Structure 1
């Protein structure tokens, strides 16, 4: 109903403008005709000498009354004015009909847009608006609306997938703890060693739950970059090597680093987390007696960090999805090695928040190279 009333209002408004324009043109035209035609004739008649007076006689029966040229032209002018008014009224009516048609045509597109907007909800984001004219303002508005729906649809799909994966990851350690408790219940006389075994398994499951929750909180936090400071990258990497040295020694993996001292601006806790995720993954997927090297160098504008290993490598088909939450290259193998499935996803988010880039090159059974490029602030 709102669109119909708008259509009527626009039609009335344009009609009033047309009628007012016609009336103004008519007034100006008639005034010009009177001034340009009648006035010279009247002036001419006034300039003629008066006829001599004669006795008054009744000549009505002898000859018809003769009208002056001014009176004849004035009569013709009235006929012209009447015809002109009719033509102007016709043109105004035609203009009103054309305006009504154009308004109805354009408001039909708006009505289609309104119905499409009403038809959209969280379960029906796939609908799109298809207007015949995509070049006018309404068509451009519909195009932007379709782009917004596409972004919303992708966002909802990502949110749904993330929630499902998070629930699945949280369920796994909970199921492990439940099974261990059930096994203890089934044993008639569990020994101290039985309790210790199931205690250790449950403890590992709890630690895995805590790790998943911590990673989820970091992924969902959009205010991570509040604490910005100057960071000595070489010292940060030395601390990471020390932190992961025990795990590397257990597998007899050589963990080395090299580079020149450099300072960058960023969040130290987050950058430590991002680099540690990559180093930790390298240790997990590098066989015994392997090697991992962390190198860093700087240019005029950037700093480049490379983590190179000679591990099992990554298939090329998996690389595009490597930084998606909960994505696993090999489900059975990665679960046996532990991890939340969020490490690399969180790493990419942290690098993106520091306006950096991360990319991977890898060859199966030969190893992988994780390369990080961050903006550099030299001091």
Structure 2
């Protein structure tokens, strides 16, 4: 059995099938030889008797009670025929067993061709080349399912690598920008032989502002990539939480004159107070940041079909359908040119999704361009810790 493990699957199937075929052929050959010997009447088993009525001699098979008048000795021709029969039986056994093994080898090769193509494709796959695909076979057998699963796996890996590349590129850009600004400001200060106190103050303020920006980015990245368990035992009053968020955001977006409407079906949840605040702060801020002037934000909680929901909707600019699946990716911006005018590193919704999922909830969104966006945070009541 260890030797079989060292050969290819094709050869292994051929050898095992050939062994079964050979065993069956041997049994058939031996049975035919047995029948030839025992079921047919040979000359040494024939007796000559006379019919008492007619007196004519006849050949009958010898029995114990028969009166054998005479016995015929087997001829050399009969013995030769018997020997030739046995020899040709063995020859046919070898021929047909060989033909069976060859046919098995050929058919197995065709059946396993997708596996060979899969192997060749895997060999050529690198982190820089994930576009190779195997043609999908019409036959819905195990190999066809394997090919389909392999192609689907490559699609997921390719998308994952693309997201990773975008993430790395965005991290580099977001960290490089404030560092470049600080470096430029310091170089300008050095070029001035006698900088004024006011210039020093402006440079220090600029450095402090961009340092805070860097610290926020690093902190957000840490929260986004932290896989450790969180302490989610705080009792949170959603009414107080959202009113506090509104109090912080209204002065910032006062010029937009945005009205926030509340409707609470339930107001108490259990979780990590700091992280929950961070998540809903980002959702409400997005609802105000990308809203229209004199717009409206609706915040409501309800229980529907045994599922508790926290819904935050706005009457803002909306998100194009092709961007909805990417909106939770780190640093992703629907419109980079517009986003440069609006503060933020593009980590907000990624953090929201990470925090929500770490609490055992899920987040979904619906959006229509020019109408608005609706975020829905939900979890089943069986897993809920509502008070």
Q: Measure how far apart 1:302 and its partner are.
A: 2.9
Change (3 A) 1:111 1:332: closer
CA contact (8 A) 1:351 1:357 kept: yes
Structure 2 equivalent of residue 356 of structure 1:
362
Which residue is equivalent to 2:378? 374
> Contact between 1:325 and 1:345, CA under 8 Å: does it hold in 2?
yes
Counterpart residue number, 1:94: 99
Structure 1 residues 188 and 107 mapped into 2: Cα distance closer, same or farther (>3 Å)? same
Alignment of 1:1-379 (within 5 A): 7-8=10-11, 10-38=13-41, 41=46, 44=62, 47-49=65-67, 67-68=72-73, 77-130=82-135, 134-223=139-228, 225=230, 227=232, 230-244=235-249, 246-247=251-252, 257-285=262-290, 292-309=297-314, 313-314=317-318, 316=320, 320=324, 321-353=326-358, 354-361=360-367, 364=370, 368-375=372-379, 376=381, 377=384, 378-379=386-387
Label 1:336 to 1:205 Cα distance change in 2 as closer, same or farther (>3 A). farther
CA distance, structure 2, for counterparts of residue 337 and residue 9 of structure 1: 65
Superposition deviation, residue 157 in structure 1: 0.7
Change (3 A) 1:226 1:30: farther
Distance 1:170 1:23, change over 3 A: same
Counterpart CA distance in 2 for 1:99 and 1:82 is: 26
- Distance verdict in 2 for CA 1:288–1:177, change over 3 Å: farther
Distance, in Å, in 2 between the alignment partners of 1:131 and 1:252 is: 56
Please state which structure has a larger fraction of its residues in helix: 1
TM-score, length of structure 1 as denominator length: 0.78
3-state DSSP of counterpart to 2:193: coil
Find the aligned partners of 1:303 and 1:50 in 2 and give their Cα distance.
104
Equivalent pairs, count:
362
* Superposition misfits of 4+ residues, deviation over 6 angstroms: 69-75, 287-290
Distance 2:151 2:74 in 1: 73
SS in structure 1 at match of 2:310: strand
Partner of 2:51 in structure 1? none
**Gap change, CA 1:349 and 1:263, over 3 Å in 2:** same
- Pairwise CA distance, 1:122: 1.0
When residues 46 and 232 of structure 1 are mapped into structure 2, their CA distance, relative to the original with a 3 A threshold, is same
Change (3 A) 1:115 1:291: closer
Structure 1 CA distance, aligned partners of 2:346 and 2:302?
Answer: 29
CA–CA distance in structure 2, aligned partners of residues 276 and 201 of structure 1: 26
Contact kept, 8 Å, 1:134 with 1:143, in 2: the verdict is no
Q: Give the match's secondary structure for 1:23.
A: helix
Change (3 A) 1:180 1:360: farther
1:150-176, Cα deviation, whole Å (9 max, x unpaired): 211111111001111111111111121
When the two chains are superposed, the root-mean-square deviation of aligned CA atoms in Å is 3.7
Contact kept, 8 Å, 1:3 with 1:107, in 2: the verdict is: no
Instruction: Please identify, of 337-346 and 252-261, the stretch whose mean Cα deviation from structure 2 is larger.
Output: 252-261
How much does 1:239 deviate? 3.5
TM-score normalised per structure 2: 0.77
